[in-house]
Chains A and B, each alone.
Chain A
Amino acid sequence: MKHNVELRNHSIELHKFRIRLALSAGFVLTLFLILYARFYYLQVTQQEHYHTLAEANRISISPLVPNRGLIYDRNGRILAQNYSAYTLEIVPSKFPDLESTLDELATIIEITPTDRQRFKKLMKESKRFKSLPIRSRLTDVEIASFAANRYRFPGIEIKARVLRQYPEKEIVSHMIGYISRINDKDLEQLELNGELNNYRGSHHIGKIGIEQSYEKQLHGVTGFEEVETDAMGRSVRVLSRTPPTPGNNLILSLDLELQEVAEKAFGDYRGALVALDPNNGEVLAFISKPGYDNNLFIGGIDQESWNLLNNSIDRPLNNRALRGVYPPGSTFKPFMALAALELGKRTPEYNMSDPGYFALPGVERRYRDWKVGGHGRVNLHKSLVVSCDTYYYSLANDLGIDNIHNFISQFGLGRKTGIDMEGEVSGLLPSSAWKMRQYNQKWYAGDTISVAIGQGYNLTTPLQLAFATMIIANNGKAYLPRLVKQIQNSQTGDVEDIPAKLLYSLNLKPKHLEIVKSALVDVTRPGGTAARVGANAAYTFAGKTGTSQVISIKQGERYNEKSINERHRDHAMFIAYAPAEDPKIALAVLVENSGTGGSTAAPIARQVFDYFLLGKLPEATVAQFTGPVEEHIHEHL
């Protein structure tokens, strides 16, 4: 009986157990279904999302920096080139005690104090996690000795870089400009222009000169490499590659040899020269002296060199040709003469007696001619040849300032020429409206008198003067001045010409032009203010001298070159073109603090013309010339 009960108990127990086991099986199946649902969710519903995440994990895009385009002169001489070099680079954020790291590094590789200064300046201008060069152009020996000690300097790396070089340095520095490291401001600008992507991986950008204004052409298109990276960020293999498109090469209209001749002709003087081809506006020479070694800026300039350049009294960083503003002095007179003829205020035959001064009716004050006692009877031709001031005083008074302004601004004075370089300034060609705007003052008749001889409020750049001279030389055609003549595709070698751009044509009477132009030829002949310079020229040479005053001299005082501080001496100006009957070159020369135009500025023009038209190299570097000295009265303004 008892046995039976136990047996029954046992089967009940077994039954109960099997129910529980079945429930367990249900539990197992349910949880497996939950797992399966989760897999389905991840792998089917959300597959795309996770696929994207996995791709983002593994693929990193690394930019391939294009080689920057080269810059040549019109004859194929190189002005900006690239070279490969090894640089030693540091990420500053990885080194809390950078100074001692550099000390240690200096035991292996030479690091000069200049390198350190330059690096410090770079650090200030860059983000902390950026890799910055402490040394460039490592020698093979230096590379080897660093490689052997590399384990001591984690975070310092040798990198192969393509670097820029300017072989002509000072001679073309103001024209070529330079590239330098991209700073925060550049980045902002790039972002604004939507070009940031094209600069991923780029370290440099054109900062000034042609390097800046043709940045788009020169930079090229950045390529990309899709690299598979592991969790540590190391690249494993390249998945795809879009090669970079190198920047285009630029062929300038500049003639480097002409530039060298012109640069030498300045000797130790400071100044500027712009020579244009009157037939198309091409810039043949573009000088601002002193220049500077633009190579210094590429890797970031050190503080000491920067101070030296920036604080120099000679202001070598100032692009005088483009941005220097000077009163045009007597080089203003040919344009005044044209105005007189065109506006009918003077006939060629009209002549006046020059007593050596001019006075406005009813005013006691005398405006004196540069020549004591005057030039006697003076007509328009003579007024240009001898640079008679009195003639223009009286003419200006008859024309009135607004006629002068409206007529002469057609020659581009007081306006930007639109040359293919950034930073041009407009200078000033005054008008009564301008004076009202600027000073809220009425224009006085006396103001016009100083303007007549290119002084007073007049301010022009050497480039503007060259532009204006070109318009006279080619009988009224205003061609856009251009530095770049052709653009070469660096991959195919195809050269694309940039066509000359005629901005506008002045409708000047040929007769009037002829009168003025013949006077300008006579300026360089015996009796003219630049007679010595034109002597024995194998071509007809037209020009006009000028003197641009630096300081004003009180009424009644005389200007004495010898007694005045060298820096306060007048600037010499000269505008010229040749050959006069069919001009091939037109230029403006400015020589700072050198006195009168005929003595220092004109000989430079002669050397440039001799070389350009005859292929003749000058015998002496600096012309020693003493011709008739043009003087003028410095008006108290």
Chain B
Amino acid sequence: MIEFKKIWYYLTRYIDSFLLVGILALMSVGLIVLYSATGANMGRVGNQMINMLVALVIMWLVANIPLQQIMRLALPMYILGFALLIGVALFGEINNGARRWLNIGVTRIQPSELMKIAIPLMMAWYFDKHEITLRLRDYIGATLLLMLPVLLILRQPDLGTALLITASGFYVLFLAGLSWRIIAGLVIAAAGSLPILWSIMHDYQRRRIMTLFDPSQDPLGAGYHTIQSSIAIGSGGIVGKGWQNGTQTQLDFLPEQSTDFIFAVFSEEFGLIGNTILLLLYLIVIGRCMVITANASTQFTRLIAGSITLTFFTYIFVNMGMVSGILPVVGVPLPLISYGGTSMVTMLLGFGILMSIQTHPKLVKT
């Protein structure tokens, strides 16, 4: 009994139970939907459970690491990630017209995934280092730390990831106190650069944006995803068609239904009521993360926690936005619910950091 208590203590010592319960609730929803989306394929569901377990273990490990040590990893991780991105640009494997993967002998990796966490870490570390003398040039420096890898990712091309990383970096800049005037300037500059961006975009990216405005333009091509997912969500109605009864899902009209478009499956089968509950669950998790962020004691922890929280939200918004047809289709999974190991690990790694921030003794910088 004493042994068990001891084990339990060590297991839960650095775990934020509030956040964990929220995460587990969302994961459960994910498994239930996945079961339906895969046509009752227990094999896929089992795989996802393994993904979740691995991610939970990683989260536990990260939560147990004190923040000072994580901070020390920021620079090496960033440099490694940056080097790998250059490697991709030079030796990457081309797949579907995009160069995203790098074969490092034992396995193939996608360095942009690593950068999703490495860039905010690096920027938070950078701001923490320059905390006392925060000036414009520090923001410019941080922006360069963000934009250089983002440009490489854009070149792959991987618009979705590039935008998400840009967002996570921007959150760091914003929370670090970037002046409103500069933010306004950036918005104007961004609007001004849209035509330039358009001209350097790849055809498939342009098509995706075009079909956002009018999916019926290309109903069997680029518009197919949006049309079918809108039909799935809309036909779900208020109460939904019931678990495993979504016709769009079960009859395979819905594309990528276990990964990026899993939300349409959920929406079709559980309706507006299900959507309400899901959004509330996400809000609870985001709320808890915000509380952790607000209570964080150092510049570094505050910025990294804030960035992770808002990036998590961004994933949710972008995914649901594209599935419900108000955003272009970019390859963004629904956090904690979409099938796939990589995004699960990335997400829980972030939550591990948040838990570490919350549960390790707070150091007030003097």
Task: Give me the interface of A with B, judged by CB distance under 8 Å.
Answer: 3, 6, 9-10, 13, 16-18, 20-21, 24-25, 28-29, 31-32, 34-36, 38-40, 42-44, 46-47, 49-51, 53-55, 57-58, 228-232, 236
Contacts and interface: CB of A to CB of B under 8 A. Distances in A.
A43 B279 contact: no
Nearest to B234: A50
B279 A36 contact: yes
Interface centre among A9, A49, A54, A58 (most CB of B within 10 A): A54
Nearest to A45: B234
Contacts of A25: 287, 290
Given A21-B290, A40-B272, A43-B267, A51 B321 contact: no
Given A38-B324, A58-B251, A43 B306 contact: no
Contacts of B237: 43-44, 47, 51
B275 interface: yes
A9 B321 CA distance: 40
Contacts of B228: 57
Contact of A20 (B177, B276, B279): B177
| Main SS class of interface, A | helix
A632 to B, nearest CB: 78
Interface residues of B, number: 48
Contacts of B294: 18, 21
Interface in B222-277: 228, 230-238, 247-248, 251-253, 267, 271-272, 275-276
B317 A42 contact: no
Interface in B160-210: 171, 174-175, 177
B177 A53 contact: no
Contacts of B309: 24
Contacts, number: 125
Contacts of A54: 231-232, 234-235, 247-248, 253
Which 4 interchain pairs have the tightest Cβ spacing?
A50-B234, A54-B235, A42-B234, A230-B251
A77 B296 CA distance: 99
Contact of B271 (A13, A43, A230): A43
20 contacts: A17-B175, A20-B174, A20-B175, A21-B175, A24-B171, A24-B310, A25-B287, A29-B283, A32-B283, A35-B321, A39-B233, A39-B267, A39-B324, A43-B236, A44-B237, A47-B238, A51-B235, A54-B253, A58-B253, A229-B251
Contacts of B306: 17, 21, 24
Contacts of A236: 251
A10 B236 CA distance: 51
Contacts of A53: 231, 234-235
A35 B320 CA distance: 7
B40 interface: no
A36 B282 CA distance: 13
B286 interface: yes
Contact of B252 (A31, A38, A42, A230): A230
Given A32-B279, A54-B247, A43 B310 contact: no
Contacts of A230: 251-253
Given A20-B177, A28-B286, A39 B272 contact: yes
Nearest to A229: B251
Contacts of A39: 233, 267, 272, 275, 324
Given A25-B290, A43-B234, A16 B251 contact: no
B248 to A, nearest CB: 6
A34 B233 CA distance: 16
